[in-house]
Amino acid sequence: MGWLADETGLERRQANYVPLTPLSHLRRAANVFADNTAVIYGAHRVTYAQYHARCTRLASALVKMDVKPGDVVATLIPNLPAQAEAHFGVPACGAILNTINTRLDADTVAYIFDHGAAKVIMADTQFLELAEAAVDRMEGPAPRIIECPDAHAGFPASGRYPVYEDLLAGGDPDFAWILPEDEWESLSLNYTSGTTGRPKGVVYHHRGAYLMTMGTVVSWRMVLHPVFMAIVPLFHCNGWNHTWMMPLVGGTLVCCRDITAEAVYNAIHYEGVTHFGGAPIVLNMIVNAPDEDRRTFDHRVEVFTAGAPPAPATLNKIEQLGFNVTQVYGLTETYGHVTECLWRKDWDAQPANEKAAIKARQGVAFPMMEDITVMDAEMAQIPMDSAAQGEIMIRGNSVMKGYLKNPKATEEAFAGGYFHSGDIAVQHPDGYIQIADRAKDIIISGGENISSVEVEGVLMAHPDVNLAAVVAKPDDKWGEVPCAFIELKPGTHPSEADLIAFSRQTLAGFKAPKAVVFQELPKTSTGKIQKFELRKAAKDLD
């Protein structure tokens, strides 16, 4: 057995084992980066020492409101300092953070309040009426409301509830943080979109979030003191965990209430933003920004994009503007991104359009993940031939604990020892994964599978197309056929026939759309196109 057979005296101790938690990053940063700028929002600029003190006061104030370890504190706040501070202050008192999508309807928010048993709700003044309407619809005990005004954006306090800054003023700056005794303890609660029923509550643990921050630093090639702009909503996978990550590298968090091309360009130009994450719609917005919204900058900006495979044409255009885009992939259930299109030097010599096509791949596992691959229905590895399709399966530390109060859905999601993503993909000979479609978005026409992603990529290459979404349209002969919904660039007027003919230059005839509808596309708050709405519309077409 060797000398390690006797491990007497080698047990875990306080000196050599500390449960992993992202809260440790801010505790360290308060000392190591005390005078560095931590958070920026307009005139609000705080150092790490001040940031830590504000989060500490929040934790203390919540305890004074009788919030106990294991209680849920919810938020309805855009990407603002109070939302960032909640990411540390709420778990620092042992509570669980529940950031809620500000674009949900009152009935769904009421369900989330009830299902998660929120004890306190921190609500931005703009969303105060939503919070109140949701509370009125609740079946269980109502949470106490803390109002978070934003006078900078034209939302002064209503006077109806205790105000966030007053709450902080009453908190103890010397409050001792309540850190997890077990890194498996729950850290946050995030709800899925719920487009096919009630949203499911996804529970994160401290260990997964800590390792997500570590893995992201490696994959994003971060050095000390990045300037990060919060574009991904902090209610979406906790902003891919980037707010918890910033203190690790002494970074500056630039908050952004409303995501516009002008706001992004201004932040890069005036604040020196070096990194941000966003959906492909954000890349599109930057590429198509009018000249008056653009600003100059002389450094390369690193971008993580996810949510849907970006069109190669969009990737090609944005990189010419000074952005380096890395395609990543993940789900609410995986804390955000867990695969990346890790760039290889031998791809540098490829033509620009080929490089853009490669960058649209979802790639390989992040460092903190154990195994991510593509399997068939029997959970066997599919051939890595760029053609065979299967489901993306995920195993690793940054996978949720499970769905709150839903053991059946949890068991189904984890069947066979992997998390089942529901995303259909191919795998290339080098192991890189590339999404073909969500299982529900595959179009089956006359027995042939058509990837809506492939058709969208072709349509997005048309010079007049701003956004494209393709869904199945019922068809008497073929069962279903592709139907394209197109959002055009201003001042352009291509016809349905023009776009169908354009797609046929690249696609096989059966893959080309049989109908084209011109309209603004419905989107979620994170920029994802709401295909379920388009599927309904396609059914109503003649």
- Please, where are the H alpha helices in 338-398? 352-359
Cα of first residue to Cα of last residue in the chain, in angstroms, is 75
For 71-85, the pLDDT digits (tens) are: 999 999 999 999 999
pLDDT tops 70 at residue 69? yes
Residues 427 and 446 in one domain: no
Quick check: is 338 in a domain?
yes
For 105-160, the pLDDT digits (tens) are: 899 899 999 999 999 999 999 999 999 999 999 999 999 999 999 999 999 999 99
Chain-centre distance for alpha carbon 34? 29
pLDDT tops 80 at residue 438? no
pLDDT tops 60 at residue 494? yes
Quick check: is 498 in a domain?
yes
Quick check: is 61 in a domain?
yes
Q: Would you say 448 and 480 are in contact if contact means Cβ atoms under 8 Å apart?
A: no
Question: For the ranges 182-186, 311-315, 408-412, which has the lowest average pLDDT?
Answer: 311-315
Q: How confident is the model at residue 542 (pLDDT cuts 50, 70, 90)?
A: low
Higher pLDDT, 82 or 354: 82
Residues 434 and 458 in one domain: no
pLDDT tops 90 at residue 480? no
Q: How confident is the model at residue 523 (pLDDT cuts 50, 70, 90)?
A: confident
Rounded Cα gap, residues 149 and 164, in angstroms: 8
For 211-253, the pLDDT digits (tens) are: 999 999 999 999 999 999 999 999 999 999 999 999 999 999 9
Residues 422 and 494 in one domain: no
Point out which residues pair with 339 in neighbouring strands.
329, 365
Q: How confident is the model at residue 4 (pLDDT cuts 50, 70, 90)?
A: low
Quick check: is 14 in a domain?
no
DSSP state, 13?
-
Q: What is the DSSP string of 401-453?
A: SEETT-HHHHHHHTGGGSEEEEEEEEE-TTS-EEEEEEGGG-EEETTEEE-HH
Average pLDDT over residues 269-275: 98
Average pLDDT over residues 426-439: 88
Q: How confident is the model at residue 493 (pLDDT cuts 50, 70, 90)?
A: very high
Three-state DSSP state, 482: strand
User: What are the structure tokens assigned to 168, written together?
Assistant: 């902080």
- Non-local (6+) Cβ contacts of 241 within 8 A are 22, 209, 212, 213, 216, 335, 336
Query: How many angstroms separate the Cα of 423 from the Cα of each of 131, 434, 505?
Result: 33, 10, 28
User: What are the structure tokens assigned to 530, written together?
Assistant: 């709401």
Quick check: is 107 in a domain?
yes
Mean pLDDT value across the chain = 93
Q: Which of 377, 411, 439 is the last residue of a domain?
A: 439
Q: How confident is the model at residue 308 (pLDDT cuts 50, 70, 90)?
A: low
For the chain, the residue count is 542
pLDDT at 525: 64
Q: Would you say 429 and 402 are in contact if contact means Cβ atoms under 8 Å apart?
A: no
Q: What is the DSSP string of 19-47?
A: ---THHHHHHHHHHTTTSEEEEETTEEEE
In 451-535, beta strands by DSSP E: 465-475, 479-488, 515-518
Quick check: is 229 in a domain?
no
Residues 402 and 264 in one domain: yes
pLDDT at 172: 97
Residues 430 and 498 in one domain: no
Q: Would you say 243 and 253 are in contact if contact means Cβ atoms under 8 Å apart?
A: yes
Residues 203 and 266 in one domain: no
pLDDT at 2: 63
Q: Which of 391, 419, 439 is the last residue of a domain?
A: 439
pLDDT at 280: 82
For 7-38, the pLDDT digits (tens) are: 788 999 999 999 999 999 999 999 999 999 99
Which class for 509: exposed (0-12), middle (13-18), buried (19 or more C-beta within 10 A)?
exposed
Nearest to 521 by CA among 473, 472, 484, 475: 484
Residues 467 and 397 in one domain: no
Quick check: is 11 in a domain?
no
Residues 173 and 81 in one domain: yes
Tokens 């000392």 — which residue?
A: 31
Q: Would you say 367 and 438 are in contact if contact means Cβ atoms under 8 Å apart?
A: no
Tokens 């053991």 — which residue?
A: 407
Quick check: is 66 in a domain?
yes
Q: Would you say 487 and 521 are in contact if contact means Cβ atoms under 8 Å apart?
A: yes
How many domains, in total, are found in the chain? 3
Rounded Cα gap, residues 149 and 77, in angstroms: 10
Residues 475 and 420 in one domain: no
pLDDT at 353: 81
pLDDT tops 90 at residue 344? yes
For 316-333, the pLDDT digits (tens) are: 889 899 999 999 999 999
Residues 206 and 77 in one domain: yes
Q: Which of 145, 180, 210 is the last residue of a domain?
A: 210
Nearest to 496 by CA among 483, 477, 480: 483
Three-state DSSP state, 364: strand
- Non-local (6+) Cβ contacts of 536 within 8 A are none
Nearest to 89 by CA among 146, 128, 137, 11: 146
Three-state DSSP state, 257: coil
Q: Would you say 252 and 38 are in contact if contact means Cβ atoms under 8 Å apart?
A: yes
Residues 372 and 496 in one domain: no
Q: What is the DSSP string of 282-328?
A: HHHHHHT--GGG-----SPEEEEE-SSPPPHHHHHHHHTTTEEEEEE
Three-state DSSP state, 211: helix
Residues 387 and 483 in one domain: no
Q: What angle do CA 413, 415, 421 make, to 5 degrees?
A: 40
Q: How confident is the model at residue 303 (pLDDT cuts 50, 70, 90)?
A: very high
Query: Domain holding 106: CATH number?
Result: 3.40.50.12780
Tokens 């990346």 — which residue?
A: 340
Nearest to 57 by CA among 142, 146, 123, 161: 146
Q: How confident is the model at residue 393 (pLDDT cuts 50, 70, 90)?
A: very high
pLDDT tops 80 at residue 312? no
- The DSSP bridge pattern shows strands 402-403 and 201-205 to be antiparallel
In degrees and rounded to multiples of 5, residue 366 shows phi and psi of -65, 160
Q: Would you say 472 and 484 are in contact if contact means Cβ atoms under 8 Å apart?
A: no
Query: Domain holding 449: CATH number?
Result: 3.30.300.30
Range of the domain at 204: 23-210
Rounded Cα gap, residues 93 and 63, in angstroms: 7
